[in-house]
Structures are given as structure tokens and as C-alpha cells.
A and B are shown apart, each in its own frame.
Chain A
């Protein structure tokens, strides 16, 4: 009897080990997207918005803890793609600088970047911004 129990334990252990990895497949997808977004951020955005998305004076708005980012999720793909050409208010401060759009970015890249922006440092957003979400948002750009 003892041998059978032992056998069950031995056989079942790998199954238990595999379970969590199966359950977090979505999480893996998000993590991969965030990592790819970080690389894009560091190459194209960090110069202005800062290493931790802290922004700079009233020239470059912050991304970390930004009320604008939280309130305008559907606008973000348009801003990345088409740029920012009018003043915006972030956390009570007005920013009048301009930003060029990254027209060469495809929906995948914008999706990576969004997942990073919403998860960088103190931003914690569990939602996953898929390329399809990006595509949908881009259709509404002004």
C-alpha cells in the first residue's frame, strides 16, 4: 500500500509543478510584452520622459503615476503613433511641449510599449493591451 501511495506521489509531483505554469500563460504573455516594451521605451522614450517615467519640468510630462495615462487609455496608441501637438494637463500641471509620432511602429510594438507604460515602476495595471486593442484605438484617432 505504501508503495502505491509513494508511486502516486512520484507520478503526481510533475503534474503539480506544471499546473502553475499552465495557469499563468497569460501572465507570461504579458511579461514578454512588457520586456519588449521596456526595450522600445529605453530606445525611443526615455530621453524625454526619463528612466523611471518621471518626466522633466513642464516640458516632458511624467508617465509614472500619471492621471492622464490612467484616464486616456484609448488615446495612448494615437499619441504614440501620431504624436502630441497640443497642450495637455498631467497631475494638475500644463505641458506645452510637442512630441513627434512614431509612425513606423506597428500594432505589436505599440501594444508592447503600452504594456510597459502601464506597468513601469509604480504603475500597476493588470490589463493586457493587445495588438487588437491598439488597432481598435487607432481607428478613432483624430
Chain B
């Protein structure tokens, strides 16, 4: 029994090895940096990455959706139009499992910007939402000034939205989905943005939405 101290040490080793390694946080998109600063004797992380600029659009129920509305929420953003025959239907179909999972989550919002607001009146957006089976208020199909929509798409979200007379609806756009954290900052896994046209990419997004939900909980506690 000389080595009786070995057993407790072994137990400790096993216990610690079981401890879940801390998962890496999602990266921030855009130009900025994260610094650890001292405030009130506490170390906190502060970053200078850009937050969503001021915006104001109206949704399928005529309700105003702006910065205040999405404050403290995790937001899943994309660009579409109701009569789009190419990219949007694929993106919407791929996004559906994500919506099904988080449609009742109080911290998650889906935000789809119409890029043909002249065609997509409030009632067209309402019919579109109903057609997709979106019957609660968590998915907002919004419309507003086209120039402001193009500006926020290209300058902040980095989702290319361009007028093109040759394209259906007169607009060209990409099918990328952007993830905003509770501070309105763009987050991603690194290397690639989420491509709404690729189901595996939307699956990654689904995991990452959960990461942001957990991160929000951690920050609260």
C-alpha cells in the first residue's frame, strides 16, 4: 500500500481530463480589434469592430424594425425579394430548419431585407411569409428605401446587392447569410461566410447561433 496516494491523483487527473475544453469564440467580421481592458477592477474584453449602422425598415405587419428593435438580440440577416426565381428560394428553403429550431427563442430574430421594395409591398411580404409558413413574429421580412437597403447590404453586411436591368426583378444579389451578435456585430466562424445556398454552411450557422446564445448567457451570469 506504499502507493496509496496514487489513486486520488489518478482520479483527479481523470476528472480534469474530462473537463470540456472551452470552445473557441466566433470571430468578428470587418476591421477592428479586441483588447482586454481594466474597468472597475475587472478585466473585460472590448472591441472596436463595427456594429450595425442606424436603420429603419417596416416588416410584413407594417411594424417598424430598427436598431432599437434588434437590441440585445442575435440576428440572422439576409437579402431577398418575393418574386426571386433563383437564389432566394434556395436560401429560404435551406434556412427553414434553422427557423424551425429557433422560431420561439426569445433572443433570436430573423431579418430578411427585400431588395425590390417597389414590387414587395407590405401585403406581398405578408403573403410571402404566410406562404413560407412563418406564422409567428420572429421572422421579419422588411422593406424600405432601396438606396438605404443597397447601402447597408454592401457597406456593412458585405452582401453584394447591385442594380442590374438584365437580372430578374432588376437586381443582382448574393445568397450569403450574416450573423449578428447581441451587440449588432458581425460574427462568423472564420475563413468563410455562411452561404445560404449550401445546406452544410447553414448547418454551421445553426451551431454558431447556439454559440452566441451560450455566449449571451455567460455574459449575463
Instruction: Give the interface of A toward B (CB within 8 A).
Output: 44-45, 47-48, 56-60, 83, 87, 95-100
Contacts and interface: CB of A to CB of B under 8 A. Distances in A.
Contacts of B83: 83, 98-100
B93 A56 contact: yes
A45 B85 contact: yes
Contacts of A83: 83
B127 A96 contact: yes
Given A99-B83, A100-B169, A48 B131 contact: no
B89 A58 contact: no
Contacts of A99: 83, 85
A47 B85 contact: yes
A60 B128 CA distance: 10
A97 B126 CA distance: 10
B205 to A, nearest CB: 20
B82 interface: yes
Interface centre among B89, B119, B133 (most CB of A within 10 A): B89
Interface of B: 82-90, 93, 119, 124, 127-128, 130-133, 168-169
A95 B132 CA distance: 10
Interface centre among A60, A83, A96, A100 (most CB of B within 10 A): A100
Given A47-B87, A97-B128, 8 more contacts: A47-B90, A57-B131, A96-B130, A97-B82, A98-B82, A98-B127, A100-B85, A100-B168
Contact of B89 (A56, A95, A96): A56
Contacts, number: 46
Contacts of A87: 127
A83 B132 CA distance: 20
A56 B128 CA distance: 12
A87 B124 CA distance: 11
Contact of B127 (A44, A57, A97): A97
Contacts of A100: 83, 85, 168-169
Contact of B131 (A44, A47, A95): A95
A48 B89 contact: yes
Contact of A48 (B85, B119, B124, B133): B85
A100 B81 CA distance: 11
A102 to B, nearest CB: 8
A139 B87 CA distance: 32
9 contacts: A45-B85, A47-B90, A56-B89, A59-B132, A60-B131, A97-B128, A97-B131, A98-B83, A100-B83
A63 to B, nearest CB: 14
A59 B85 CA distance: 12
B131 A96 contact: yes
Contacts of A98: 82-83, 119, 124, 127
Contacts of B119: 98
A98 B124 CA distance: 8
A19 B82 CA distance: 52
3 nearest CB pairs, A to B: A59-B131, A96-B127, A100-B83
B132 to A, nearest CB: 5
A36 B119 CA distance: 31
Contacts of B131: 57-60, 95-97
Nearest to B132: A59
Contacts of B86: 44, 47
B130 A58 contact: yes
